[in-house]
Each structure stands twice: as structure tokens, then as C-alpha cells.
Amino acid sequence: MSRWLLLVLCAVLALTVGVASATADGGNSVNAQLCQKGGWQSTAFTESGGTFGSEAECVAYAAHGGTIASIMVSTALAHCAISPDPHVFCWGTITGHGLQPSDFTPTGNVITITILNPDGSTNSLINRPVDTNGNAFFGALFGCDPVNDLGQTFFVTTRTAAGATLTTQSLPVPC
């Protein structure tokens, strides 16, 4: 009887430790989600700015305590409105995680949206802060003249929590 009781107590203890270990790193599941649906290819990076060779490599990095730094740009849900003048205004969203927080100094981290003219010259820069937790989420207003500004592109840059620079691929302005 005492062996049976000892065996049951050992099993309960093992389950308790296993559940506690699995839930202690709750943030890893969020990091792992950033790897899914192609995120490992385009939006998820290591803290040092490195890329991943596969979704499995990205998930394993997160599962072993690695922090994923990400910067996501969405213009798929851009809402465009024509103003009284010939300009068109469109909205997109920029989301970031695992980034270096802004400290509001001239050299502090921000998320910078660089809008380029068709000839490659800079049209404008938009800077937005990163919160104290290393996260960012904001709407980006893109304004363009549909006659003169066709072919504009933009890219986004920021720094990871470890200080590595992240830069997105160049995307078309959604207007």
C-alpha cells in the first residue's frame, strides 16, 4: 500500500512540475506565433537581427527562450478617401514587438517610415515611438497626389531590444 501511495505522489509531483514549467514561459507561445503563417520569412527576426531558415527553426528559437523581434506592415486594410484637392489619403498599420523602447532622445529608437519617390529620392519620413515594453502599434497615413506621386514606395526601419537594425522590404504606397 505504501509503495502504491508513493507512486501516486510521485506521479502527481511530476505532473505539477511539468504544468508549471509549461506555463512559466507563456510569452514563448506569443513569440512562436510570430513565426507562423510565413512570419519566419518576412516579419520575425532574432534579437540580433538574424533571420530564420524555416518555421521550425523560428519556433524552436522562441521555445528555448529566444525573443522574437518583429515589424509588420499591413496595407491590405487601407482605407482611402479622396480629399477636395487632388490628393488621396490611405491608412495602413505598423506593428512591432521585441523592439528597443523609445527614450525620446535624438539618438533614441523610433519606428521610421521612409517614403521614396519613383526616382529613389526621399519624399518624407514619419517617426513613431516604441513603448516601454518594446511594442508599437499605430496607423500610418499615406498621402499622395494620384497624378504626380504614382510609383512611390516605402520601407520601415527600427532597432531590436538588443540594438540590431531591422528594415522591411520596400513596399508600394497603397494609394
- Domain assignments of the chain as residue spans, ordered by start: 1-66, 69-175
* Average pLDDT of the residues of the chain: 75
Average pLDDT over residues 136-150: 72
Predicted TM-score (pTM) above 0.95: no
pLDDT at 117: 84
SS3 110: strand
Grid coordinates given for 100: 528597443
Grid coordinates given for 90: 490611405
Grid coordinates given for 25: 514561459
Residue 12 in this model has a pLDDT that exceeds 60? no
Grid coordinates given for 13: 509531483
User: For 70, which DSSP code?
Assistant: E
pLDDT band at 4 (very low <50, low <70, confident <90, very high): very low
CATH dotted code for 69-175: 2.60.40.2550
Average pLDDT over residues 54-60: 92
